[in-house]
Each structure stands twice: as C-alpha cells, then as structure tokens.
C-alpha cells in the first residue's frame, strides 16, 4: 500500500476477478477462485527487465479463458452404459455435461493451462462419476473391466504430468466428492485410516483436532505438506509418490503409508499393516506410486506424528556461493543428529529472486550481506526449520548453525523463512498473472546423488539458459544422506504451445542426459512416460509391465501412456 502511494511507476492491473462458473479459466486457475497472489513490484520489475518487456506489454491481458467451456468430443459410451453408472452411483453423481467432462480430465500442467486458455480441449472422459462408497467403486471397476471401459482416477486434480488426463475417454472417477471419510484414528499405533479422496487441509485438521474429535491424548500432524497441499488428496500423495516440503524430517508420502486398500480389475486387496515384516517383497511397497495403473486406491492407513509447533526453530543463512551451500547441506544430511524439517538451498539465480520475495532486499540484512562481500548472482540462500521433541529440535538447529558457519554461511535471522512460510502454498497463484501477459512459468524436478549434483545442475541450467531471456531458478529441498533433489523453475516470454512443448521436452531430455532421476516427487503420468524405458531400462520396465498385466489384463486402469506401461 505504502509502496503504491510512494511509487508512481506503472504496475499492471492483475486479474482479481474470480472466474465465472463454467469457464475455462475456472478450470485452469490454481486454487480457490477468489484467491490471488500477484507478482510484487520488485518481481514485476525483474520480469520486465529479464524479458525486455515494457509497461506497454502489460496494458492488456491476452486470452484469459473466460469463455464457457464447450466440448465437442463425442461420448463413446452407450446410453446403456451411462445408465449403468447412474444405477450404481446415483443419477446426481454421474455427469456427461461439457464442463464436468473437461474439468475432471485436466490437471495443472502449463500445457493444459495453455490449451484451455485457447479453448482447446482434448483427452476428456466420456462420463464423470462421483462414487459414494468403496462398494460402488468395486461395482464400477467390475463393470468397466467387463465392458473394457477405461477408468481414470481424479483425486485433488493437481497433477503436473497429465496424470488425470482421460486419454482414451471412459470414466473419470472423482474421489474427493464422497470418498473422503476418516475411518479410524489409532492412537496406540500412531496411525490414521482414511478414504483416499480426503483433501490435505481436511486431513490435517482432523489430526490437529484429534483430542476433541477422538478424545486422544495428543494432537497430531500428518507431516506431509507439498506445495499443492490445499488442493491435493491423501490418495494422490501416495499414488504419485509425492514429497512434502517437510520431507527431510517426516519422509515422503510413501514412507508414511502403512497400508493401502485397492479395488483392481483382479479383485480387492488390502495390504497388511505391520510395522515391519520379513515375508518377502511387500505389497505395500509394490503398490506405492502406481498412479492408478494397477487399480483404484480407496483407503490408506498413514503414520502420524505428535503436533508440536511450539518446538519449531527457524533459520536462514546466506552462503557466498552454491558449492558452499551444497557442502553445508551434505554435511547436515550426513551428520547423524536428525534432520531439519523444512530445508532448502537456492542457487544463485533463485537466491536473488528469493531475497526480493522474502523481504531481505533493501533491509538491514541486505546491507549486512553486502558488507560481508557476498555478491548478487553468486550468493546462495538457505532457509529451514527444525521440528520434533524440544531438545532434539534445538540440537538440530544448533548443528545446522555450526555447519553453515563452518561453510562460510552468514546467519540471516528467521525473517526469510517466516516470509517463505507465509506464502508457502501460494506461489502457484502467480502463474495465472504471468500467463495473462504471455509469460510461461513451469517446473521440472529430479532426484540426484550428491556426487552428481553439480553436473546435473550445470547441465540442465546450460540447456535452459542457452535460450536467451529465460530465467532458470533452481533449489534443492528434500534431503537424504545419499543425495537430494533439484527443482528447476523456468520462466520465459512464450505463448506458442509448440515452442513450449519443444523447450520443456528439451529440459526433460537434459535431466536424463545429465544423470538425474526422471522425477523426484511429481510422478510420471503420461507426460514424462516416454522417457521411462530409457531411464529405467527394459529389464525394469518389463517388471512393471508384468505387474500391470497381472492387475489389469484388459488395460482399463489409467490407460494411454501412464508410466510407459503400454506397448
């Protein structure tokens, strides 16, 4: 506000209108329809400069997708088939209208947003079904298997790799509408059993309020907070092998899942919920991250954790360079004192942006950083916090502090991480604003061993930066003794879909070429599936295909390319 009055410089009129019901924009817009996060003035200035844009480029928004959704793709199912679904799930829970068909066949990729903005619709379900019970899902799977009708499972819909695209038509099975109940909190075992469609915030609320709701001794937390937390489902977390922003301490979604229940074309299956067994390869493992290709995940039992936010200790450091930041992060990950919960290091390009976003630029801290001689385009930011039992958390914080300082890190107070926390789930809202003015923003991520982190970072960056006027920001945000992940964010003035596709595919190519894993926590879907064979090799792919053949001999579960399982 103050900045607005003082500054007479131009600042765009970002779209602040909730998209009307039934429009394309209401489908591709991230999150709540009435919630926004606009680029702040510093970021706006940087964008103009990076892409040689002028104020004139921000006078008028381009195609915004405010038109009502139309879908001309014919429904391939017969009216008998549609009636059968209505008989199973109830008339009101079965829809063939254009809007539902498009909405429940799209995830949140840049590509889908670009297409929908241009009123381009493809790969849609014939029918959308909101089953009311697991029994109904059982009946639907049996019927679809008989009739060879494809089934696509829609959890929260936040897939960024065409995970929910209904490539072969058929049914989009929406889990979040009714399959979202809490089955049981088991405080003795420190587990909760829920239906797969329960959404992140509802799930966490139940756990936080456990003493009230279940008369439990403690309040709990789920420990899994991906950026998509507010708009993703617990079943989706497990199905895509997701990792939350606090995974370095809590583990990823598949570390947290104790047992799973599936409805598959081959029958129903509930894995055992022992804390450990030695009875051969575990079905709970074999089903992890199967992305709906083996069956419908209907229920999960998850580990939970005591909720002790009072023990959180926050830290931020700035390092003179990326190598120092990586060295500190590796030492922390291998130090055997436990791990911080949130923990992120940003490369030089991202750090300069982060300092703008997290309230450091222009502050007294900024002054101190300059005095220390840490240079823009070199210095690297690290933020994080610790959790767990009080002394444990304090000791991790103390060790992080010592190791960062040994690696020439400078303490930056808790301000940057507090600012990060404030907006931790909101960055995806920025995309619509940028897209409105023809600016593409996208991300790809990869798991990497410590001995290959610099090679991967440099290799992928070199590819991205070869394109002029392209921002490439990278961070590592999930840490293990054996390695970490690299998360690449690339931004450019780009609205041609073919140019975008070629460029984005080029980034994936280079991730594989420079030895990163094909995905660290976004999953595979149908988007990066074409690289699976090259990445895993035919021997490993054949095993996944054998499992697919076992569970789904008619190929009805998420068909059309998921994980590269089809011939």
Residues 313-332 that bind a copy of itself (CB under 8 A): 330
Which one, 238 or 489, has the nearer CB to a copy of itself?
238
Binding-site member from 112, 195, 252, 442 for a copy of itself (CB under 8 A): 252
Q: Do 524 and 480 meet the contact criterion of CB atoms below 8 Å apart? A: no
Q: How far is the CB of 423 from a copy of itself (least distance, A)?
A: 24
Find the binder of a copy of itself among 127, 128, 129, 532 (CB under 8 A). Answer: 532
**Closer residue to a copy of itself (CB): 370 or 398:** 398
Minimum CB separation of residue 507 from a copy of itself in Å reads 16
What residues between 3 and 22 interact with a copy of itself by CB under 8 A?
none
Q: Give the helix/strand (H/E) hosting 258.
A: strand 257-264
Residues 436-475 that bind a copy of itself (CB under 8 A): 447-451
Residue 430 in contact with a copy of itself, rule: CB under 8 A = no
Cα–Cα distance between 488 and 498 in angstroms, integer? Answer: 20
Binding flags for a copy of itself, 479-518, as an x/- string (CB under 8 A) = -xxxxxx-------------------------------xx
For every residue of 488-523, which 3-state class applies, written as one string? Answer: EEEEEECCCHHHHHHHHHHHHHHHHHCCCCCCCCCC
Taking alpha carbons only, the member of 550, 542, 554 closest to residue 563 is 542
Interface residues for a copy of itself in 263-282 (CB under 8 A)? 266-269, 271-282
From the list 224, 288, 299, 475, which residue makes contact with a copy of itself (rule: CB under 8 A)?
Answer: 288
d(Cα 126, Cα 409) in Å, to the nearest integer? 56
Applying CB under 8 A, the site for a copy of itself has a residue count of 89
Please, which of residues 145-184 interact with a copy of itself by CB under 8 A?
Answer: none
Q: At what angle do helices 453-466 and 322-333 cross, to 10 degrees?
A: 140
As measured in angstroms, the least distance from the Cβ of 359 to a copy of itself is 31
Say how far apart CA 454 and CA 329 lie, in whole Å.
13
With vertex at residue 218, the alpha carbon angle to CA 212 and CA 224, rounded to the nearest 5 degrees, is 95
Contact 236, 288 (CB under 8 A): no
Place of tokens 């074409």: 530
How far is CA 541 from its chain centroid?
Answer: 24
Residue 243 CB, nearest distance to a copy of itself (Å)?
Answer: 7
Nearer to a copy of itself, 162 or 450 (CB): 450
190 binds a copy of itself (CB under 8 A): yes
The angle that helices 41-50 and 348-357 make with each other, rounded to 10 degrees, is: 150
Residue with smaller CB distance to a copy of itself, 107 or 438: 107
| Whether the Cβ atoms of residue 461 and residue 513 lie closer than 8 Å to each other | no
Assess 536 for contact with a copy of itself (CB under 8 A): yes
What distance in Å separates the CA atoms of residue 142 and residue 129, rounded to the nearest whole number? 15
Residue 174 or 258 with smaller CB distance to a copy of itself = 258
**Residue with smaller CB distance to a copy of itself, 26 or 341:** 341
Minimum CB distance to a copy of itself smaller for 451 or for 496: 451
């Amino acid at each position: 506000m103050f900045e607005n009055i003082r500054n007479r410089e131009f600042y765009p009129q970002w779209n602040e209108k909730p998209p009307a019901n039934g429009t394309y924009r209401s489908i591709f817009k991230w999150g709540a329809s009435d919630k926004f996060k606009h680029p702040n003035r510093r970021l706006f200035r940087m964008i103009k400069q990076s892409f040689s844009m002028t104020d004139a480029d921000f006078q008028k928004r381009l195609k915004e997708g405010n038109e009502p959704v139309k879908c001309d793709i014919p429904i391939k199912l017969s009216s008998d088939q549609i009636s059968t679904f209505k008989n199973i799930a109830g008339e009101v829970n079965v829809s063939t209208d254009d809007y539902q068909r498009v909405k429940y066949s799209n995830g949140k990729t840049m590509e889908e947003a670009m297409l929908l903005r241009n009123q381009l619709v493809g790969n849609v379900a014939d029918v959308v079904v909101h089953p009311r019970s697991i029994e109904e899902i059982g009946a639907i799977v049996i019927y679809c298997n008989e009739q060879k009708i494809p089934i696509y499972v829609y959890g929260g819909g936040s897939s960024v790799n065409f995970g929910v695209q209904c490539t072969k038509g058929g049914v989009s099975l929406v889990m979040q509408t009714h399959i979202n109940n809490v089955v049981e909190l088991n405080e003795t075992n420190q587990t909760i059993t829920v239906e797969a469609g329960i959404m992140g915030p509802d799930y966490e609320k139940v756990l936080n309020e456990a003493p009230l709701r279940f008369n439990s001794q403690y309040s709990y937390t789920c420990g899994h907070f991906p950026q998509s937390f507010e708009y993703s489902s617990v079943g989706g977390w497990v199905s895509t092998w997701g990792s939350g922003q606090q995974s370095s301490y809590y583990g990823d979604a598949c570390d947290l899942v104790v047992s799973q229940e599936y409805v598959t074309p081959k029958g129903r299956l509930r894995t055992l919920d022992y804390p450990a067994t030695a009875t051969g390869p575990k079905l709970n493992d074999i089903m992890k991250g199967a992305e709906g290709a083996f069956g419908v995940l209907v229920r999960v039992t998850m580990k939970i954790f005591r909720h002790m936010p009072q023990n959180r200790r926050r830290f931020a450091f700035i390092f003179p360079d990326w190598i120092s930041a990586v060295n500190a992060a590796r030492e922390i990950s291998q130090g055997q004192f436990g791990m911080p919960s949130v923990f992120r290091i940003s490369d030089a390009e991202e750090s300069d942006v982060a300092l703008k976003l997290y309230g450091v630029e222009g502050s007294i801290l900024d002054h101190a950083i300059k005095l220390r001689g840490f240079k823009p385009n070199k210095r690297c930011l690290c933020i994080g916090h610790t959790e767990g039992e009080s002394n444990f958390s304090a000791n991790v914080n103390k060790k992080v502090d010592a190791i960062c300082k040994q690696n020439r890190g400078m303490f930056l107070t808790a301000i940057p991480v507090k600012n990060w926390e404030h907006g931790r789930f909101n960055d995806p809202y920025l995309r619509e604003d940028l897209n409105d003015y023809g600016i593409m923003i996208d991300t790809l991520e990869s798991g990497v061993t410590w001995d290959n982190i610099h090679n991967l970072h440099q290799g992928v960056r070199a590819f991205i930066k070869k394109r002029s006027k392209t921002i490439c920001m990278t961070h590592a945000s999930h840490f293990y003794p054996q390695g970490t992940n690299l998360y690449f964010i690339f931004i450019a003035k780009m609205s041609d879909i073919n140019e975008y596709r070629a460029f984005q595919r080029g980034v994936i190519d280079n991730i594989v070429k420079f030895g990163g894993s094909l995905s660290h926590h976004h999953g595979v879907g149908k988007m990066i599936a074409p690289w699976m064979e090259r990445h895993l090799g035919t021997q490993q792919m054949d095993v996944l295909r054998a499992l697919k053949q076992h569970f789904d001999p008619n190929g009805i579960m998420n068909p059309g390319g998921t994980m590269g399982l089809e011939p």
